[in-house]
Amino acid sequence: MSIIYDALMKVQKNFNKETTTAKTSPPPQTSRPVHPKIRMKFILIYIVVVCLGLILGNFAYNFFAHPKNIVSPPLPTPIKPEPVAPVINTEAPAAAAASGVSLPSPVPEPTLVLNGVFFEQGDGYALINNKIMRLGDEISHAKVKEITIDGVVLEFEGKTIKLSSPS
């Protein structure tokens, strides 16, 4: 039994030596401390590299996504119609002049395009021929009578013109 006791005492002494040396010795350093100026250089280099990467990425995107060297085909030249002599009705003005009645010159129906309809605080507005119109406003001798979400109703020389909202 004394052999076992001696062996255990020897192991305990070795264990105590290892723990006391571990407590008194400083922990080993894994890395050196970095000087603040060197750290600042690394940060600046990182920022410059990131900025250059963004600039090169933007350049590559613009070059490949929007190539400017594509030549579009030329537009066809419009064909000009030959001038046609107007047909003049000489009988109607002569009859009107004989009776003493002057005929008003006919106003052609205007070309109106409804670009959009919007409402603000209960008031309706219509964008007709890229002009903002309200109830009662006139455009090309046509008066705005009604503005709805579906379209606009105008009155032109007693006729009703309906413009539907764009899809």
Q: How does pLDDT run along the chain (167 residues), one tens digit per residue?
A: 577 778 778 888 887 777 666 555 565 666 667 778 888 899 999 999 999 999 999 888 887 776 565 566 677 777 777 776 666 665 655 555 556 555 565 667 778 888 888 888 878 888 888 888 899 999 888 999 999 888 899 998 888 988 887 76
Q: 156 lies in which domain range?
A: 114-164
Query: Is residue 54 situated within a structural domain?
Result: yes
Query: Is residue 46 situated within a structural domain?
Result: yes
Residue closest to 134 by CA, chosen among 110, 113, 117, 159? 117
Query: Is residue 1 situated within a structural domain?
Result: no
Secondary structure tally for the chain: helices H, strands E = 3, 7
Query: Is residue 82 situated within a structural domain?
Result: no
Element containing residue 24 per DSSP (H, E): helix 2-24
Query: Is residue 15 situated within a structural domain?
Result: no
Distance CA 63, CA 60 (A): 5
Residue length of the chain: 167
Q: How many domains does the chain have?
A: 2
Query: Is residue 101 situated within a structural domain?
Result: no
- Residue pair 25/17 in contact (Cβ under 8 Å)? The answer is no
User: Which residues, 6+ apart, have CB-to-CB distance to 126 below 8 Å?
Assistant: 114, 116, 117, 132, 133, 134, 144, 147, 152, 163
